[in-house]
Amino acid sequence: MSDVVMHVWRGDADGGQFEEYTVPKQDGEVVLDVIHRIQATEAPDLACRWNCKAGKCGSCSAEINGKPRLMCMTRIDTLPEGETITVTPMRAFPIIRDLVTDVSFNYEQARKVPAFNPPPRPEGGYRMSQVDVERGQEFRKCIECFMCQDVCHVIRDHEENKARYSGPRFFIRYAELEMHPLDTNDRRDLVREEMGLGMCNITKCCTEVCPEHIKITDNAIIPLKERVVDADYDPIAWLGRKILRRTKRTAEQAAVQPD
Amino acid sequence: MSEIEHHDYDVIVIGAGGAGLRAAIEAKGRGLRVALVCKSLLGKAHTVMAEGGVAAAMGNVYAEDNWKVHFRDTMRGGKMLNHWRMAQLHAQESPDRVQELEAWGALFDRTKDGKILQRDFGGHRYARLAHVGDRTGLELIRTLQQRAVSMDIDVFMECKVVRLTTDDDGAVNGAVAYWRPTGEFVTFGAKSVVLATGGVGKSWKFTSNSWESTGDGHAIAMWAGASLIDMECVQFHPTGMVWPLSVRGILVTEGVRGDGGVLRNSDGKRFMFEYVADMFRAETAESEDEADRWYDDHTAGRRPPELLPRDEVARSINSEVKAGRGSPHGGVFLDIASRRTADDIRKRLPSMYHQFMELAGVDITREAMEVGPTCHYIMGGVQVDPDTAATAVPGLYAAGEVAGGMHGSNRLGGNSLSDLIVFGRRAGIAAADRAESMAREPKLNQAQVTEYIDEALAPFTRDSGENPYDLQHELQELMQANVGIIRNEAEVVEALEKLDELKQRAANVAVGGGRAYNPGWNLATDLPSMLTVSTCTAQGARDRRESRGGQTREDFPKADPELGKVNFVQRQPSGRGFSSEITITPEPLPVMPDELMAIFEEESK
Amino acid sequence: MTTVENPATRVDNSHTPVVLGGTRGGPDTPTLRKDRWWLAPVITVTILTSFVGYATWAAFVNKNYYAGSWMHRDLISPFYSPCLAASCVPGASHGPVISFWTISPALLILIFPLGFRMTCYYYRRAYYRSFWWAPPACSVSDSHKSYSGESKFPLIFQNVHRYFFYFGLVFNVILTYDAILAFNQPGIGVGVTVGTLVLCLNATLLWLYSLSCHACRHLCGGQVKSFSAHPIRHKFWKLVTPLNAKHMQFAWVSLFVVALTDLYVRLVASGTITDFRLF
Ligand SMILES: Cc1cc2nc3c(=O)[nH]c(=O)nc-3n(C[C@H](O)[C@H](O)[C@H](O)COP(=O)(O)OP(=O)(O)OC[C@H]3O[C@@H](n4cnc5c(N)ncnc54)[C@H](O)[C@@H]3O)c2cc1C
Ligand code: SF4
Ligand code: SF4
Ligand code: FES
Ligand code: FES
């Protein structure tokens, strides 16, 4: 059988370069297998993240031939035959070493999410219907591979936006909470003012790369944008609120972590 | 050596799987300073991979279900080797723990009337597993993770604990760890330490476990003076993928069988009917017709034999393959395609569908899967007090897969996730209680710290030596071949000899490169724990001369009633650490009180 | 809950410090993609430019948009309906006229369909990618110095999309009415011609395009927190959701068909072709 030629980015914050590795091809292998074989033979210190090797944990995100992919779910035989395969770390995050990046941006954004705060649990547990939980379940499939964050040009190409942009991974989280049947909060001003929802220009790259096939843009971001329109840009909705004496929550009120 | 980063906490929790997170939430809820330390990123722990569900006798689908039935199923599944009190607490408290998750945002699948839906699993008499499709573990860990983050618990990610530190009285007072991204060391001072480091599966060649499952918790607990029990009881899950080779071992959830999938050999025969042990005959279907009726209505027939406890099914598959009736790649066929509609399969088992489609190019809605046993779970672990999860070492608590006793010699599917939240919480409470009762901040013994750091850095000091990957590889081959699903005296004894050799060689591992994110070095620091727990398993496998649950001896194919009354307990009585001796002694099981005993007697009538 | 001193950084929820900067990995190139990622933007630019070119021309020529009784056909181009200017050719107008408008009647109304499509979530995606190159394709650098997306003037006005959607509905009603009128062939009686079918097809696609709109999906039921508490809205939502999944397809097909409808009417009205009568 033929060989696999792989160009792997090796380096750290002080710079790096591609190294070429050639390994014999094996049936049914994925990119991560090849990386592991390189580790076990030529380069024991080649850094990469992985855990489950089954597309469940979202650890092994990297860019394969320039596109964000899970290394453990990218079979070699699905890549163009006979061409070298380039493997680079996720571009949007600072490099730690080789294929490992510092994804703490995402954990910081996670801390900002105000937790779910339902009414007290009734005897025998909450009642919710399947149609209601299904909406949120789509978003809870997220394995936090952060590839949508990586591909999102808002931060991939504009570092300065990171300070005020939570990114698609967290837009689906806000959408999930907003669509929760027992939810009591109102995060519309929060996502507009603090989380940078308006910076997303719905170009859908997040949806394209999501390994869980979550319809991030159609089912989360656009519905959120529409909810923000209800809250802030629709004069009829504004009038309706005035007449019905409904109030909405400010970003600060919405951001409070419940006890 | 320059100044080492140091943090003081009331409670540190090592491990951020379900058990660790649940413990940290409990302790943090008491207003204490809590740190959560884990080897990989937050949310990536093994728990994320759990598929089928979490067992809790809520009675949402079958009102007949209650904690007593769950208790009975758990004990019988564990072949009565379980600590009765753990099984009792687990059965009693799990419904509440599962419902609590919903208040934190979990979204389980629902019944028609809006309650949590429950599914069938092997060994559970009623449909009992709360689930979310086939990604229940993800739901559990994400829910707990989000809760923990909103409580502002300090998380130390990609930070590997190498040793626990102890004070002059032998109590645990902290831990020594290193940051994987930088290779720099960090020490923790803590009034109590909760261990929740998960399993040991990485020491076998074919396993459903990730690189993290190296048994670090088992090892560092023993090195700190704790005792381990039942380490020979390793569960081989009957259905792992067998092909392609590179994914061999990856789990195929039991949910496939719970939802109607059946096992067939190369003749197309549902062979499980031939392997029903006497203990389960009364409640297992005799014909395919009867079994098929059961799926829709559990009162119309008895359970299909595919849903016997895991040890039974795994052994049967093993026998079929040995008898030459296996599938092309050395497994058997798991067929759901011919039994459920394609839509149903995609809806109920979405990640299985993807897993096979993407990794094996197999469409499970049209073809059968090829499956075979894979190393999955260790029932044995650190011996704990059931109510407080306290170990023999003051200040050290253990919960989750790292703790032993709960599952006896064999764990039922779904009982682990519930174990995590029940005993994770209990460990958190007990650890917080102790921390609150202690006035003084613990002080680490600097000599100890330096010793542990030097130990971890030793592979860098050698110019030449063993390649850690080679050693790991040899260990995996050895455990797979000699201490696998079917064992015998000669092979196990040989394994112990070879393990000794490997230990010698492990003391001579050399790695190159820098300390920052160096997987070679990281593996080198995992090897001592892997070798330690493997030795424990092999010792237990040698001394338990019977077949029971996760321990199958071809030279002693029957269960021995006398051995059913003891745990094998392992300790390091003289000198602690990787190179010190490990002893193994049989000790009597705790005695079950009469009122619980009565549950079993009622049933035999 | 008692508060305790915490050695790690406390999180201030409104402005969590996010560490900026840090060297990124990989080579400094706009992209490492080797596939033909530029193809899609090129196609989009080509089609949209051609359409805009054609539509501008069609809107300005101000003739041949209506085949009236002299042709025994009541066919009107969608670019010119409703025909509201005093300058409308006789028969094209449905009633009220704006007397001071003397240039092309199309220019009076095209702003609405144009605005609808300009603010459409799908078209936004298409032209941001292909014209603005923000980004041209996934994991290809967007090559802009600074970027604020739709959060600032003027793009913040994209948020009025739902109002264009409402107007779009009005237009759909009018164009449907036109399609129905087309079955009446002055001087001949009721009949079906290729022209009537074209108008019907056009109206149908415009309905599909509007009903599959994201704003529509939201207004139908997407905005509720609990479907089970709003069963009727859930029904509506379930009806439009499958359409919404095909919004992109409807956007393109309806665009083509609108232009072709105009072209067809134009060819008939100018006498270039005769509108074939089927029965
Ligand atoms: C594929 C698969 C499917 C499963 N399906 C089910 C199921 O359906 N139902 C069920 O009940 N059970 C299931 N299980 C079993 C169950 O998932 C595990 O037993 C359980 O998740 C273990 O949880 P834990 O909290 O004990 O540890 P884990 O989730 O394994 O977490 C261990 C943690 O400890 C950390 N750690 C380890 N060593 C160190 C160290 N030295 N220093 C610092 N941190 C360390 C790790 O980083 C990790 O955070 C499944 C298991 C697998 C593999
Ligand atoms: S659709 Fe929005 S969030 Fe998604 S990648 Fe594009 S800009 Fe980013
Ligand atoms: S939404 Fe999809 S792409 Fe984004 S982090 Fe989650 S799984 Fe990954
Ligand atoms: S290793 Fe878990 S997703 Fe790839
Ligand atoms: S018309 Fe495209 S989204 Fe509204």
pLDDT tops 60 at residue C1? no
Sort out which chain C residues have CB atoms less than 8 A from B32's CB and list them.
Answer: 4
- Calculate mean pLDDT across residues C39-57: 97
What pLDDT is attached to residue B2?
A: 62
* Band of residue C103 on the pLDDT scale cut at 50, 70, 90: confident
> Which domain-ending residue is among B374, B407, B429?
B374
What pLDDT is attached to residue C2?
A: 33
pLDDT tops 50 at residue C15? no
Cβ A226–C11 below 8 Å, yes or no?
no
Q: Does B494 lie in the same domain as B567?
A: yes
Residue numbers of chain A with a pLDDT score lower than 70: 1
Could you give the number of structural domains in chain C? 1
pLDDT tops 90 at residue B348? no
**Domain assignment of residue C72, given as a range:** 39-57+64-219+229-269
**Does residue B124 belong to any structural domain of this protein?**
no
**Does residue B257 belong to any structural domain of this protein?**
yes
Calpha distance B374→C153 (Å, rounded): 59
Which domains, ranges and CATH numbers included, belong to chain A?
3-101 (3.10.20.30), 104-254 (1.10.1060.10)
Cβ C4–B154 below 8 Å, yes or no?
no
pLDDT tops 60 at residue B1? no
Please report all neighbours of C, defined by 3+ CB atom pairs within 8 A. Answer: A, B
Q: Does B255 lie in the same domain as B212?
A: no
Report yes or no: C168 and C220 within 8 Å, Cβ to Cβ: no
- Cα of A51 from ligand 4 centre, angstroms: 5
Report yes or no: A18 and A8 within 8 Å, Cβ to Cβ: yes
Q: Is A21 helix (H, G, I), strand (E, B) or coil?
A: strand
Q: Going along chain A, which residue ranges are E strands?
A: 3-12, 15-24, 61-64, 67-70, 85-88, 95-97, 100-101
**Does residue B241 belong to any structural domain of this protein?**
yes
Residues of B tagged active-site: 237, 257
- Per-residue pLDDT reduced to its tens digit, B304-313: 999 998 889 9
**Does residue B29 belong to any structural domain of this protein?**
yes
Report yes or no: B174 and B161 within 8 Å, Cβ to Cβ: no
Partner C contacted by B5 (CB < 8 A): no
Q: Does B544 lie in the same domain as B444?
A: yes
**Residue among A56, A74, A212 whose CB has most ligand 4 atoms within 8 A, to mutate:** A56
Q: Least CA distance to C151: which residue of chain A?
A: A198
What pLDDT is attached to residue B136?
A: 95
Report yes or no: B154 and C8 within 8 Å, Cβ to Cβ: yes
- Calculate mean pLDDT across residues C110-131: 96
**Residue among A106, A145, A156, A216 whose CB has most ligand 3 atoms within 8 A, to mutate:** A145
Q: Closest ligand to A172 CA?
A: 3
pLDDT tops 80 at residue C5? no
- The minimum-distance atom of ligand 3 relative to the CA of A172 is 1
Amino acid code (one letter) for B92: Q
What pLDDT is attached to residue C96?
A: 78
Cβ B29–C1 below 8 Å, yes or no?
yes
* d(CA C229, nearest CA chain B) in Å: 13
Return the CATH number at B370. Answer: 3.90.700.10
What pLDDT is attached to residue A1?
A: 61
- Per-residue pLDDT reduced to its tens digit, C195-234: 999 999 999 999 999 999 999 999 999 999 999 999 999 9
Atom 7 of ligand 3 has which residue's CA nearest to it?
A142
- The minimum-distance atom of ligand 5 relative to the CA of C168 is 1
Secondary structure of chain C: what % helix, strand, coil (to 5)?
A: 50, 5, 45
Q: Does B573 lie in the same domain as B425?
A: yes
- B window 76-105, beta carbon within 8 A of C: none
Q: Does B552 lie in the same domain as B410?
A: yes
**Does residue B37 belong to any structural domain of this protein?**
yes
* d(CA C159, nearest CA chain A) in Å: 6
Partner C contacted by B29 (CB < 8 A): yes
**Does residue C185 belong to any structural domain of this protein?**
yes
Atom 8 of ligand 3 has which residue's CA nearest to it?
A145
pLDDT tops 70 at residue B229? yes
Nearest to B478 by CA among B465, B488, B469, B491: B491
Q: Does B247 lie in the same domain as B227?
A: no
**Residue among A169, A172, A174, A217 whose CB has most ligand 3 atoms within 8 A, to mutate:** A169
* Band of residue C239 on the pLDDT scale cut at 50, 70, 90: very high
The larger pLDDT score, comparing residue B123 to residue A218, is at A218
The whole-chain average pLDDT of chain B stands at 94
Sort out which chain B residues have CB atoms less than 8 A from C4's CB and list them.
Answer: 31-33
Q: Which of B420-429, C17-26, C47-56 has the lowest mean pLDDT?
A: C17-26
Return the CATH number at B487. Answer: 3.50.50.60
Residue % of chain B over a pLDDT of 90:
88
Atom 2 of ligand 5 has which residue's CA nearest to it?
C120
- Which of A160, A204, A232 lies nearest to residue C20, judging by beta carbons? A160
Is the Cβ atom of A200 under 6 angstroms away from ligand 2?
A: yes
Q: Does B445 lie in the same domain as B510?
A: yes
The larger pLDDT score, comparing residue C197 to residue B463, is at C197
Cβ A218–C214 below 8 Å, yes or no?
yes
Q: Does B507 lie in the same domain as B490?
A: yes
- The minimum-distance atom of ligand 1 relative to the CA of B214 is 38
> Which domain-ending residue is among B316, B346, B374?
B374
pLDDT tops 60 at residue C9? no
Q: Is B382 helix (H, G, I), strand (E, B) or coil?
A: strand
Cβ B152–C6 below 8 Å, yes or no?
yes
Q: Does B448 lie in the same domain as B363?
A: no
Amino acid code (one letter) for A181: P
- Cα of B351 from ligand 3 centre, angstroms: 15
Q: List all residues 6 or more positions away from B162 whose beta carbon is below 8 Å from its beta carbon.
A: B176, B177, B178, B220, B452, B455, B456, B525
Q: Closest ligand to C149 CA?
A: 2
> CA–CA distance from A85 to each of A9, A22, B358 (Å)?
11, 10, 19
- The minimum-distance atom of ligand 3 relative to the CA of A143 is 7
What pLDDT is attached to residue C19?
A: 66
Burial A49-86 (b: 16+ CB within 10 A, else e): bbbbbbbbbbbbbbbbbbbbbbbbbbbbeebeeeebbb
Q: Does B173 lie in the same domain as B159?
A: yes
Cβ B152–C1 below 8 Å, yes or no?
no
**Domain assignment of residue B597, given as a range:** 1-53+133-233+379-605
**Does residue B396 belong to any structural domain of this protein?**
yes
Report yes or no: A219 and A138 within 8 Å, Cβ to Cβ: yes
Q: Is B583 helix (H, G, I), strand (E, B) or coil?
A: strand
**Does residue C137 belong to any structural domain of this protein?**
yes
Residue % of chain B over a pLDDT of 70:
99
> CA–CA distance from B454 to each of B156, B215, B220, B457, C129 (Å)?
22, 21, 16, 5, 55
pLDDT tops 80 at residue C3? no
Q: What is the ipTM of this complex?
A: 0.96
**Does residue B76 belong to any structural domain of this protein?**
no
Q: Does B294 lie in the same domain as B216?
A: no
Calpha distance A156→A161 (Å, rounded): 9
Could you give the number of structural domains in chain B? 2
> Which domain-ending residue is among B319, B353, B374?
B374
Amino acid code (one letter) for B401: E
* Band of residue B54 on the pLDDT scale cut at 50, 70, 90: very high
**Does residue C111 belong to any structural domain of this protein?**
yes
Q: List all residues 6 or more positions away from B222 whose beta carbon is below 8 Å from its beta carbon.
A: B228, B382, B532, B536, B570, B571, B572, B576, B582
- Per-residue pLDDT reduced to its tens digit, A18-63: 999 999 999 889 999 999 999 999 999 999 999 999 999 999 999 9
What pLDDT is attached to residue B187?
A: 97
Partner B contacted by C14 (CB < 8 A): no
Q: Does B297 lie in the same domain as B245?
A: yes
pLDDT tops 60 at residue C8? no
Report yes or no: A222 and A202 within 8 Å, Cβ to Cβ: yes
Cβ A259–C229 below 8 Å, yes or no?
no
**Does residue C9 belong to any structural domain of this protein?**
no
